[in-house]
Amino acid sequence: GGGRQVTITRARLRRDLERARDRTRTLTEIPDSELVAQHSPLMSPLVWDLAHIANQEERWLVRAAAGREAVRGDVDGLYDAFLHPRATRPDLPLLGPDDARRYAAHVRETVWDVLSSSDFGDELTRDGFVFAMVAQHEQQHGETMLATHQLRDGPPLLSAPDAPRTGIRPTPERVLIPAGEFEMGTSDDPWALDNERPAHPVYVPAFQLETVPVTNARYVEFIDDDGYGRPELWSEEGWRHRQEARLTAPQFWTRDTQGHWWRRRFGRTEPLHPDEPVVHVCFFEAEAFARWAGGRLPTEPEWEKAARWHAASGRSLRYPWGEAEPGPEHANLGQRHLGPAVVGAYPDGASTLGVQQLIGDVWEWTASRFEPYPGFRAFPYREYSEVFFGGDYRVLRGGSFGTDQVACRGTFRNWDHPIRRQIFSGVRLAYDPPEASGASDV
Ligand code: AVJ
Ligand code: FE
């Protein structure tokens, strides 16, 4: 590309890396005792994430991209997620909080030098890819660290302005996405990760999708209608899990003696807001809710077609609203708020077919397992995506209030085990299209 393109990209990469570090600081400028504690066996101590972020940055930017000497080659093993499962990380001789912060700062200083001298000349650095990959990685851990904060007990450590409390629920409640092919995935988004590639045509039969995520009020109706007590609403596997884990409501919910629902969020217990999207449900709960409501979860191609397909041009957009970078008018992203906004709060973020809040607020469970697209090639490392294909994972789409915009777009794919619900996961309902009259002659 020309000099102008590279100049723009460098400044942009610098901002994205700085924003990631600001986020990391916000989440880790807490007492040492909170940083080294393991708040849940599902999560690492926050001090592990802090040095892991630095270690990943030096592996990819200092060593791989620039071919420079390791800043700290001696700690690679400690911060390799595949060598040590999360539950065992507190027992490792981890860097302490001050050493971890110094390590991250030292790597970052070196990276500024690497960024200004890179000619973006090879596959790893083209269009700034590997720098953006590292910014996305740090922000992904920023969301994971936020989930760790949600799991910890004790008085609040984080605060942010409330998410929008007023919205206009869109009509109609569902839209029809007509049958036809669309382009799924991408081959030309320079910062897309390997599992989003390549672009490929997918035929999607007609279906309906709700225009907003499922709300708390509706989820309470499911609970009150004995949704957690009726095995016929659940898959066999889901019902087994519901019994073993004794699920009776989304995580972090409690009901008082008068029957009112409360939820705990980042150390504050507040009345459940009826119009907020439900969050902290696992895939099995999402599936059971959908069956109770007479619908189903969207497949991954359905979700992406609803989010990206532009009927007028037949092309796929980067975001539901088009190509513009997400702003505060489009979506609740980036931990600006520490919770989802009410439904209908982001009309400017609607897709061309009128579906709202596909990006931001809560991750949406899809019915699909995490599998490679045809023509997938692991890049630049197998452990980002490839080793998870074929495992017991379901895909989530769209990002949450905890997701940064650098790690969120219409093609972005997240995945987790179907029992997980400490993530900021919610539900969007799909339906088969209403039967056309006279369809009986098929
Ligand atoms: C894409 C969110 C499933 O957190 O396990 C972070 C992202 N990969 N470090 C995860 C990731 C390596 C990943 N998810
Ligand atoms: Fe990581």
Q: How far is CA 392 from the centre of its chain?
A: 18
DSSP state of 231: G
Q: How far apart are CA 426 and CA 345, in angstroms?
A: 16
Give the Å distance between the CA of 262 and the centre of ligand 1. Answer: 30
pLDDT at 1 (0 to 100): 35
Residue 140 Cβ < 6 Å to ligand 1: yes
* pTM confidence score: 0.96
Tens-digit pLDDT profile for residues 354-388 = 999 999 999 999 999 999 999 999 999 999 999 99
Residues 30, 32, 33, CA angle at the centre, nearest 5°?
105
pLDDT at position 7 over 70:
no
Determine the residue of 55, 140, 148, 386 to mutate for testing ligand 1's pocket, defined as the one with the most ligand atoms within 8 A of the Cβ atom: 140
Cα(252)–Cα(80) distance, integer angstroms: 31
The pair phi, psi for residue 439, each rounded to 5°, is -70, -10
Model confidence band, residue 353 (pLDDT cutoffs 50, 70, 90): very high
Q: Distance, CA 81 to ligand 2 centroid (Å)?
A: 7
Indicate whether 437 pLDDT > 60.
no
**Helix 236-244 with 283-292: angle, nearest 10 deg:** 120
89 is annotated as contributing to ligand binding: yes
Q: Ligand 1 pocket, 415 CB below 6 A?
A: yes
Query: What is the structure's pLDDT at 90?
Result: 86
Strand-pair partners of 277: 215
Residue whose C-alpha is closest to residue 47's, from 116, 134, 178, 141? 141
Q: How far is the CA of 144 from the centre of ligand 2 (A)?
A: 10
Band of residue 9 on the pLDDT scale cut at 50, 70, 90:
confident
Question: 423, exposed or middle or buried, with CB in 10 Å at 0-12, 13-18, 19+?
Answer: buried
CA 383 to ligand 2 center in whole angstroms = 10
| Confidence check: pLDDT of 3 > 90 | no
Residue nearest to atom 9 of ligand 1 (CA): 137
Binding site annotation covers 416? Answer: yes
89 lines ligand 1 (CB under 6 A): no
Q: What is the mean pLDDT of residues 227-254?
A: 98
Query: Does 242 carry a binding-site annotation?
Result: no
* Ligand 1 site, residue 235, Cβ cutoff 6 A: no
pLDDT at 4 over 80: no
Q: Mean pLDDT across the chain, nearest whole number?
A: 96
pLDDT at 200: 98
User: Strand pairing partners for 425?
Assistant: 363
Does ligand 1 come within 6 angstroms of the Cβ of 144? yes
State mean pLDDT over 73-89.
92
Q: Which atom of ligand 1 is closest in space to residue 144's alpha carbon? A: 4
Q: What is the pLDDT of residue 5?
A: 59
Nearest alpha-carbon partner for 146 in 158, 161, 137: 158
Residue 228 confidence (pLDDT) above 70: yes
- Rounded to an integer, the average pLDDT of 189-207 is 98
For 268-294, the pLDDT digits (tens) are 999 999 999 999 999 999 999 999 999
Strands 430-431 and 207-210, bridge-based pairing = antiparallel
Q: Enter the tokens of residue 59.
A: 């592996």
The rounded radius of gyration (Å) of the Cα atoms in the chain is: 22
414 CB near ligand 1 (under 6 Å): yes
Confidence check on the interface: ipTM exceeds 0.90, yes or no = yes
**282 C-alpha vs ligand 1 centroid, how far in Å?**
17
Expressed in angstroms and rounded, the spacing between residue 79 Cα and the centre of ligand 1 is 14
Question: What is the Cα 122 distance to its own chain's centre?
Answer: 29
pLDDT 10s digits, 107-123 = 999 999 999 999 999 99
Question: How close is the Cα of 287 to the center of ligand 1, in Å?
Answer: 23
Q: Is the peptide bond before 170 cis (omega within 30 degrees of 0)?
A: no
Side chain identity at 438, as an amino acid letter? G
User: Position of tokens 């809040």?
Assistant: 357
Nearest ligand, CA 143: 1
- Provide the strand spans (E) within 282-388: 309-310, 315-316, 363-369
Q: What is the DSSP string of 23-86?
A: HHHHHH-S-HHHHHS-S-TTS--HHHHHHHHHHHHIIIIIIIIT-PPPS-GGGTTTT-TTTS-G
* Run of H or E residues at 202: strand 200-204
Whether 331 shows a pLDDT value over 60: the answer reads yes
| Percentage above 90 pLDDT, the chain | 94
Tokens of 129: 């890819």
Ligand 1 within 6 A of CB of 393 = no
Helix (H, G, I), strand (E, B) or coil at 360: coil
Name the pLDDT band for 434 (thresholds 50, 70, 90): confident
**Which of the four pLDDT bands, split at 50, 70 and 90, describes residue 441?**
very low
412: Cβ contacts below 8 Å, ≥ 6 apart: 192, 193, 196, 397, 399
Q: Is 321 in the pocket of ligand 1 (CB under 6 A)?
A: no
Which residues are registered as beta bridge partners of 200? 184
Residue 137 near ligand 1, beta carbon < 6 Å: yes
